[in-house]
Amino acid sequence: MVSKVMKTILLGLGNPILRDDGVGWQVVQAIEEHFGKNLPPEIEIDCFPLGGISLMERLIGYDRAILVDAIQTKQSPPGTISRLTLDDLPSIHANAIHDAALKDALEFGRKLGAELPQEIVIYAIEAVDLWEFDEKLSPQLETSVMPAARAVLAEIDNWRNS
Amino acid sequence: MQRLSIDPITRLEGHGKIEIFLNEDGNVANTYFQIPELRGFERFCVGRPVEEMPLLTNRICGVCPEAHHMAAAKAADAVYHVDPPRPAKLLRELLYSGFYFTDHTTHFYALGGPDFVMGPDAPVAERNILGVIHKVGLEIGGKVIQARKYGHTIVEYIGGRKVHPCTSIPGGLTKGITEEQRQEIEKMGHWAIEFAQFTLNLFNEIVLGNKAYVDLILGDIYTHRTYSIGLVDENNKVNFYDGNVSVVSPDGERIGKYAPSEYTDWIAEHVEPWTYLKFPYLKKVGWKGFVDGKDSGVYFATPLSRLNAADGMATPRAQEEYEKFYSVLGGKPVHQRLAIHWARLIELLYAAERIVELATDPEITSDNFHKIPTETPTEGVGIVEAPRGTLTHHYKTDERGVVTMANLIVGTTNNYAPISMSINKAATSLIKGGTVVTEPMLNMVEMAFRAYDPCFGCATHSLPGQMPLEVTIRDADGNLVEVLKQYC
C-alpha cells in the first residue's frame, strides 16, 4: 500500500528590510541554497511578509507547515532558536497583521471549510533589533541562520521517517 | 498621581502604548500615546536608484504595500518629469481600487467592526472575526474570503504579484492586462458592488438600527472639530490615486488645495519631548497645541476626512450613500470620529464601482502603458490616499537618478495629534473619580483610536513573547494598587 504524500510548506516570515525581522527569510533562503536539491518534491519553500488572515490563506492546501520567524521574548539570549507550536502562542493578538491572530485566522479558515495544515511547527529565533531598516541581521543572529536551517531540515527528516 | 497603562494596544499593528495618568481625585490628569519609531529609512534609501523605490518602499509595511508602491511610483514619475500615458494611470488606479476593496473589507469585518457587531461591552476574546461570524453567520465569512481573493487577483493581474506589486516604474507600468483578464476583473467588480452594498446594509441594521450605537457615535466623547484633508479629483470628488489634497476647516470651508509638490508649504511637523514621532499640522494655521477648533492646525486624514474634504463621490451608488451619510449625521462636515467606520464602507462601495468603471474603459487593455523618461531626474513628490490617510513620498536624486534624500509622511502619522486628542477625551469622559476601571471602559478608550485604523507596523510578523494588554494602577505615591492583565 502506498501512503499518501504529505504536502508540506516551509515559509520564512517577516520583513526582509527590517534587520532581524528578516531572519525567517534568511533561514529558508539558506535551506533552498544549500539543501534545495536534496529536498523531496512535496516540500514547497517560500518567503512571506504577512501574518493573520493572509498567512492563513497562504497555508491553504497543505497538510503540514513549518514557519520560521523572529521572536522577541527578551527572556532568551539573542539568536536562541525555539521550536514552538500554535499552543505556545497567545490565543489572540499574537502575530496579528491588521486583522486577526494566526490561531484565530486558522480557526476562521477551518470553519469556512478551508483545507489547512493539521500540523504547524514554528521555528522562532530571538531577535535583537526589529526597528531599524537594514537588510543585514544583527551579528548575534547571523550565526543562528545555519543552525536554524539544520533544525528545520531535521524536522523535515523526522516527518518523512515517521 | 495614579497611572493607568494599556500596553500594547489590542489589535493594533506594532507596539503602541497608552498611558493614562490620574490625579489624586481619580480623574484623568493626562494621557500619552507613544509609538516606537522605525529608524533609518532615509539612510536605507539614499544611494539607491529611484526606480527601485516602488519595490523597496512597499516592503516598509505588510499592511498597505500597494499604497507605498503607488506613492513611490508617482514620486519617481515626478523625479523624472514624466507623465505616464492615460492607460498606465487607469491600470494603476484599477490595481489600487482592488487593494482598497480588500483592505476596507478586512478592516470592517476583522478589526473595527467587532466593536459594533459584538458591542463594546463584549469580552475581549469575542471582539474579533470569529465573534463576528458567529453572530452574523458563516456564509458572510465566506464572502469576506471571496472579497479578499478578488482584490488580490486584481492586484496580481496588474501588479505582477498578489503581495508587493512590482510593475510600476517611472513613466507607467512594465505590463498591461489581457482582454480575458479585463473581463474577469469586470465580473469581480460587479460582485464587489453587491458585496459592498450588502456590507452597508449590515452596518445599517446592526449599527444604525441600534439607538445605543447611534448615541455613541453622535455623542461628545468621540467628537473633535479639527481640519479635514483628502485627495480630490478635478471635480472635487474623492479620489484615492490622483489629484490635489483638499483642506477643509472645521466649519466646512475649503481653505485651499495643494498639489503634491506644494506639500511643504502646507504641512509642518511639531515635536514633543515625550515621543520620537513628530506631529504634522497645517502650517498656514499654526500649531496651537492638542486642541480643536479653527485656530488650531491639527487635522485628520481618514475615510471620514476624505468625505469631508470632498464635494462628493465620483460614482453614483457611493454618491447616494454619501448624501444619506450627511443627512443622517446632520450635515457637513462630520466630526464624530466613530463615523469613520461608516465612511470607510462608503469608500468600499466607491472602490467597487470604480473597479467596474475602470475595467470597462476602452483604453484599459491598451499596450500604451509606458512612456520612456527622457529628462534628467531631479526631485519629485507623489501623493496617494492610503486607506489610513494621505501618504506622501518625497525624493531628491542626483543627475543619475540615485536617491540623495527621501522623506515620507505616512497615513497614520498625519493622525498622531488627533488620535492623541481622542484618547485623552475618551479617557477624561469615561474615567472619573471613584469609578472602577473595567475592561469595557478601557475598550471604549481604545475605540477612540481604533476608528482611525492606526498602523505602525513593519516588524509585526515577529512573534510577540507576551500578551499585549496590561493595565497598571498606581496611587499618588507610585505604589502599585492593582494590575489588570489579559492574556499575559
- Report which of residues A81 and B14 the model is more confident about: A81
Listed range (A77-91, B37-51, B461-475) with the worst mean pLDDT: B461-475
Span A8-160: which CATH code? 3.40.50.1450
Instruction: Give yes or no for residue A136 having a pLDDT over 60.
Output: yes
Question: What does the pLDDT read at residue B135?
Answer: 84
Question: What does the pLDDT read at residue B2?
Answer: 52
Question: What does the pLDDT read at residue B11?
Answer: 34
SS3 call for B26 = coil
Contacts of A13 in chain B (CB under 8 A): 461
As a whole number, mean pLDDT of residues B81-93 equals 98
Q: Would you say residue B256 lies in a domain?
A: no
Mark whether B356 and B216 lie in a shared domain.
yes
Mark whether B21 and B160 lie in a shared domain.
no
pTM reported for the whole predicted model: 0.90
| Chain B residues 38-97 with a CB less than 8 Å from chain A | 38-41, 43-44, 56, 59-60, 62-63, 65
Exposure b/e, A14-41, CB count within 10 A at least 16 = b = bbbbbbbbbbbbbbbbbbbeeeeeebee
pLDDT band at B14 (very low <50, low <70, confident <90, very high): very low
Q: Measured between CB atoms, does A162 come within 8 Å of chain B?
A: no
How far is residue B481's CA from residue B484's CA, in Å, rounded to a whole number?
Answer: 10
How far is residue A34's CA from residue A118's CA, in Å, rounded to a whole number?
Answer: 28
Q: Measured between CB atoms, does B461 come within 8 Å of chain A?
A: yes
Instruction: Give yes or no for residue B443 having a pLDDT over 80.
Output: no
pLDDT tens readout for residues A7-31:
999 999 888 888 998 999 999 999 9
Instruction: Give yes or no for residue B373 having a pLDDT over 50.
Output: yes
How far is residue A32's CA from residue A45's CA, in Å, rounded to a whole number?
Answer: 7
Mark whether B99 and B179 lie in a shared domain.
yes
Cross-chain CB nearest to A96 (options B11, B41, B459): B11
How far is residue B133's CA from residue B130's CA, in Å, rounded to a whole number?
Answer: 5
How far is residue B475's CA from residue A20's CA, in Å, rounded to a whole number?
Answer: 39
Listed range (B105-109, B429-433, B467-471) with the worst mean pLDDT: B467-471
Q: Would you say residue B126 lies in a domain?
A: yes
Instruction: Give yes or no for residue A1 having a pLDDT over 60.
Output: no
Mark whether B117 and B182 lie in a shared domain.
yes
CB-facing half-sphere around the CA of A18: CA atoms within 13 A: 26
Q: Which of B345, B372, B399 is the last residue of a domain?
A: B372
Q: Would you say residue B389 lies in a domain?
A: no
Q: Terminus-to-terminus CA distance in chain A, angstroms?
A: 16
Listed range (B78-92, B155-169, B313-327, B471-485) with the worst mean pLDDT: B471-485
Q: Measured between CB atoms, does A18 come within 8 Å of chain B?
A: yes
As a whole number, mean pLDDT of residues B313-337 equals 96
Choose among B170, B79, B157, B143: nearest CA to B372: B170
Q: Which of B319, B347, B372 is the last residue of a domain?
A: B372
* A17·B163 Cβ contact <8 A: no
As a whole number, mean pLDDT of residues A98-107 equals 75
pLDDT band at B458 (very low <50, low <70, confident <90, very high): very low
Contacts of A86 in chain B (CB under 8 A): none
Question: What does the pLDDT read at residue B287?
Answer: 97
Angle at B365 between CA B384 and CA B83, to 5 degrees: 40
Cross-chain CB nearest to B62 (options A73, A74, A97): A97
Instruction: Give yes or no for residue A88 having a pLDDT over 80.
Output: no
pLDDT tens readout for residues B238-276:
999 999 999 999 999 999 999 999 999 999 999 888 777
- Report which of residues B285 and B34 the model is more confident about: B285
Q: Would you say residue B214 lies in a domain?
A: yes
Mark whether B16 and B104 lie in a shared domain.
no
Find which of A18, A69, A88 to mutate to test the B interface (most B CBs within 10 Å of its CB).
Answer: A18
Could you tell me the residue ranges of all domains in chain A?
8-160
* B110·A51 Cβ contact <8 A: no
Question: What does the pLDDT read at residue A3?
Answer: 59
- Where is mean pLDDT largest: B22-31, B75-84, B107-116, B407-416? B75-84
Find which of B132, B462, B467, B469 to mutate to test the A interface (most A CBs within 10 Å of its CB).
Answer: B462
Domain CATH number, residue B98: 1.10.645.10
* A73·B141 Cβ contact <8 A: no
Q: Would you say residue B211 lies in a domain?
A: yes
User: In 10 A of CB B328, how many CB atoms?
Assistant: 15
Instruction: Give yes or no for residue B456 having a pLDDT over 90.
Output: no
Listed range (B103-117, B415-429, B441-455) with the worst mean pLDDT: B441-455
Mark whether B112 and B27 lie in a shared domain.
no
Looking at the complex, report in whole angstroms how far the Cα of residue A5 sits from the nearest Cα belonging to chain B. 28
Quote the domain boundaries for residue B432: 2-39+415-486
How far is residue B445's CA from residue B438's CA, in Å, rounded to a whole number?
Answer: 11
As a whole number, mean pLDDT of residues A120-133 equals 88
What percent of chain B shows pLDDT beyond 90? 59
Mark whether B210 and B92 lie in a shared domain.
yes
Q: Would you say residue B127 lies in a domain?
A: yes
DSSP one-letter code for B289: S
ipTM field = 0.85
- Report which of residues B32 and B407 the model is more confident about: B407
Q: Cis before residue B87, ω within 30 degrees of 0? A: no
As a whole number, mean pLDDT of residues A147-161 equals 92
Mark whether B360 and B468 lie in a shared domain.
no
| CB pairs < 8 Å spanning A and B | 160
**CA closest to B163 among chain A residues:** A49
As a whole number, mean pLDDT of residues B209-218 equals 88
As a whole number, mean pLDDT of residues B67-73 equals 96
Beta bridge partners of B6: B18
Question: What does the pLDDT read at residue B16?
Answer: 59
Number of domains in chain B: 2
Exposure b/e, A49-85, CB count within 10 A at least 16 = b = bbbbbbbbbbbeebbbbbbbbbbbeeeeebbbbbebe
How far is residue B46's CA from residue B376's CA, in Å, rounded to a whole number?
Answer: 18
Mark whether B441 and B343 lie in a shared domain.
no
Q: Would you say residue B51 lies in a domain?
A: no
| Chain A residues 48-77 with a CB less than 8 Å from chain B | 48-54, 57, 69-75
Find which of B53, B461, B486, B488 to mutate to test the A interface (most A CBs within 10 Å of its CB).
Answer: B461
pLDDT band at B455 (very low <50, low <70, confident <90, very high): low
Per-residue cell: B142: 465566506
Q: Measured between CB atoms, does B260 come within 8 Å of chain A?
A: no
Looking at the complex, report in whole angstroms how far the Cα of residue A105 sits from the nearest Cα belonging to chain B. 8
Mark whether B35 and B91 lie in a shared domain.
no
What percent of chain A shows pLDDT beyond 70? 90
DSSP A55-112: HHHHHTT-SEEEEEEEEE-SSS-TT-EEEEEGGGS-SSSTT--SS--HHHHHHHHHHT
pLDDT tens readout for residues B121-159:
777 777 778 888 888 888 999 999 999 999 999 999 999
